[in-house]
Amino acid sequence: MNVATLLKGIGFLTWLAVVLLGVFFVLQTSRGRTVKNARTIVLVAMVVAILLSTVSAGLVFINPEERGVVISAVAPNGYREQALQPGLRWIIPFAETVVKYPISRQTYTMSIAPEEGNIKGDDSIEARTADGQKVLVDASVIFAIDPTKVTQVHITWQDRYANDLVRAVSRGVIRDAVSQYGVEEVYSSKRLELVQGITEAMSKQMDDNGLVLVNFVLRNISFSDEYAASVEQKQIAEQTAQQAKFVVEQKKQEAEQARQVAQGRADAAVIDAEGDAKSRLIQAEAEAKSLELIAAVLKSNPNLLTYQYITKLSPNIEAMLLPSNAPFVFNLPQVGATATGTGE
């Protein structure tokens, strides 16, 4: 409780005391009882009540979140140019009155939800996009009265600034802004640009009328049932296409993996074949060199072949029959105790 309110309360009680004293004295007089100095007491009480009422009428306490517009019967324009600042202030009793305005932030909400907005029921903003689609916009406007323009707000709008200014301006600006964009741009690619455009337009109009736009909040954008259904179908189609694309990519990856495996196997087979061929080539070269060496040895030692032949005979053979017309190419070894070679 501030001092001004306290003085008003005391002044009221003083006037009540004056009335009660007057009634009391009248009753006593009617009963033939006189009260000494009754008139003096009543006059003193009346003077005190008048003084308290006058002082309390001249004192005004302005809270920190308020400013006071002084309506004056003695000022040339009927009001003081400057609003009262926070604290205990003095005005001319009974000639001036104060209208208080909040300068703290206020929020005006327009919503499709019945219990969320400042006005009960569906209070969303219906707008048309550039391509003719109907959209419903939910929005909140956070604003405050400019402390330096409180008197201007009082003269122009009084206490109607929320409904007649904020509401009207925001709905008109939102409709104009939405009409500049296509429906898909409104809810996707151009939404941020839309909000910025609305904020700039509202800020200018509100500033011209003594208000400060703190923030504009685009809460929600709803579409007609038909368009919402088409959007849902489009999203389903896009998701199906994305799924098909994913399957194709997966098949491509599997095919590429199989190709790489086959390529690996082919490369391995080529490497094995090349290795086998090189091995055979080396073996053939070795055999050729071996034959060359054998041929050279035989050339210089012709009987070596015969010797090798004989050494390969079975150890059980004790005689050898030769054709009668075949010449002896070597001396037969003796077999057993005596050996005889005949030709038939």
CATH number of the domain within which 178 lies: 3.30.479.30
What's residue 263's pLDDT? 83
The verdict on 96 and 123 lying in the same domain is: no
- The tally of domains found in the chain comes to 2
The pLDDT tens digits of the residues spanning 218-277 come to 999 888 777 766 665 666 667 777 777 888 888 888 888 888 888 888 788 778 777 888
Whether residue 216 has pLDDT greater than 90 = yes
334 within some domain: no
The verdict on 111 and 80 lying in the same domain is: no
62 within some domain: yes
51 within some domain: yes
Is residue 24 within 8 Å of 41, Cβ to Cβ? no
The verdict on 114 and 213 lying in the same domain is: yes
Q: What is the mean pLDDT of residues 289-294?
A: 78
328 within some domain: no
The verdict on 134 and 33 lying in the same domain is: no
Which of 223, 253, 281 marks a domain boundary?
Answer: 223
The verdict on 140 and 202 lying in the same domain is: yes
| DSSP secondary structure, 247-271, as one string | HHHHHHHHHHHHHHHHHHHHHHHHH
161 within some domain: yes
User: What is d(CA 195, CA 140) in angstroms, rounded to the nearest whole number?
Assistant: 12
The verdict on 144 and 80 lying in the same domain is: no
Residue 98 backbone zone (phi > 0: left; psi -120 to 50: alpha; other: beta): beta
The verdict on 119 and 192 lying in the same domain is: yes
Q: What is the mean pLDDT of residues 294-313?
A: 70
Which of 223, 248, 277 marks a domain boundary?
Answer: 223
The pLDDT tens digits of the residues spanning 126-177 come to 999 998 888 999 999 999 999 999 999 999 999 999 999 999 999 999 999 9
Instruction: Tell me which residue range forms the domain holding 166.
Output: 106-223
The verdict on 17 and 93 lying in the same domain is: yes
What's residue 326's pLDDT? 55
Whether residue 321 has pLDDT greater than 80 = no
Q: What is the mean pLDDT of residues 100-114?
A: 93
> Is the overall model pTM greater than 0.75, yes or no?
no
* Vertex 160 angle, CA 155 and 166, to 5°: 105
What's residue 245's pLDDT? 83
89 within some domain: yes
The pLDDT tens digits of the residues spanning 64-97 come to 999 999 999 888 889 999 999 999 899 998 899 9
Whether residue 324 has pLDDT greater than 60 = no
Q: What is the mean pLDDT of residues 45-56?
A: 84
17 within some domain: yes
The set of residues, in sequence order, having a beta carbon less than 8 Å from that of 48 and lying 6+ positions away, is: 14
Is residue 110 within 8 Å of 127, Cβ to Cβ? no
User: What is d(CA 339, CA 319) in angstroms, rounded to the nearest whole number?
Assistant: 8
Which of 223, 251, 284 marks a domain boundary?
Answer: 223
Whether residue 323 has pLDDT greater than 60 = no
User: What is d(CA 144, CA 215) in angstroms, rounded to the nearest whole number?
Assistant: 10
Question: How many CA atoms lie less than 13 Å away from 304 in the CB half-sphere?
Answer: 9
Per-residue confidence at 308, pLDDT binned at 50, 70, 90? low
The verdict on 7 and 88 lying in the same domain is: yes
Contacts 24+ apart (CB under 8 A), 126-133: 127/174, 127/175, 127/178, 127/179, 128/175, 128/178, 128/179, 129/178, 129/179, 129/181, 129/182, 129/183, 129/186, 130/179, 130/180, 130/181, 130/182, 131/182, 131/183, 133/182, 133/183, 133/223, 133/224, 133/227
The verdict on 86 and 16 lying in the same domain is: yes
The verdict on 57 and 110 lying in the same domain is: no
204 within some domain: yes
The verdict on 152 and 219 lying in the same domain is: yes
What's residue 215's pLDDT? 95
Cα dihedral 206, 211, 217, 222 sign: negative
What's residue 232's pLDDT? 59
